[in-house]
Structure 1
Amino acid sequence: MNPLQGWRASWAERRQERAERGRELLEQKAAAAKSSADFEARHRLRLEKAISVSSMEMACHRDTWEAIEKIVFPVTGYRIPYYGIVGQQRFPQNRITRSGTDERSTVKLSGPHLVRCLTVFRAVLAVGTNHFTSDPEVYALSRRMYDLLGARVDAVDMNSSEGALPVLIVDASLEETPEA
């Protein structure tokens, strides 16, 4: 084999490898798009279920609630990259019961509050941790809360109007729901 033939064979191999990598990338992108579409479909179903919830209690540490309130119910607005500013909305303070001895808060969320929480947490998750303005604490809190709220909302039976008030315990150290 002369040098020209060797070069052509090597070039053909590299071209074949690039084509295979291109096909693999296209397959990965298609799988990611399908996964994203599935997630969006589940998210929309969660929003439909969440709006049907009349009330849900959430038990958490006072600091956890204040962090959630800062993101979801901001006083001055909260900016999420690529999403925009979360509009001002004060959470009704009469729906928060605070325990002075152990720093626990019990918060009563309505269906519209659940929808707002899921929507804002979803927006934070969509940005991810790679954006230069991403706050790892906000991302971690949003991931945990979206998963917890989502699981609780997924368990809601939209055809039933009976049953106990759903209670969500956020912090691992809380063993039982505080009594109001």
Structure 2
Amino acid sequence: MSLDKEHENISKPISFNKKPSIADLYKALDSGYDEHIAMELGFALDKAGKEFDATRHYLSALSGSLLPEEKIHVYFCLASSYRNTNQSNKAKKLINKAIKEFPDKSLFPIMKSLINLDEKRIDLAVHTLITVVYKHVKEENLAPYVWLLKKEAIRQRRALKKNSILCRALID
């Protein structure tokens, strides 16, 4: 099994994996606007490889009143669709908005890191991933490896010539 197939359903909402008919979703949307139908249509189009078309429906869903978990899924899928349709500027803006709205979700900084990798900003991508690990991974078995995070933070601070909060916290 390829790595892509093995991990294709990670971090996607349960409804992403259902197979609703795209035609039925369009009909339902035509009979009256509903952000949940727009969201489901976005998922269905995304899954069918029509990511550019999915973006319109994700945006429509975000304009409604989604539950926080639904909004998280839509933000992530929309950013992914932007990324896969070479709209990285839109993906970055959306991810920054999602990070402000959901600061405790590590999913968004990870997506930001992937976008940085796409743009060949490797030092910034690594820095972002280190930040995610430091802030979000609370496993006790990582305690022996804090020295590595500290060492990498120093290296990244030098590479980026910035005094990030992470670097200062680890070094001080």
**TM-score with structure 1 length normalisation?**
0.28
Structure showing the higher strand proportion among its residues: 1
Structure whose alpha-carbon radius of gyration is higher: 1
Q: Could you say which structure has the greater relative contact order, defined with CA pairs below 8 angstroms and 6 or more residues apart?
A: 1
**TM-score with structure 2 length normalisation?**
0.29
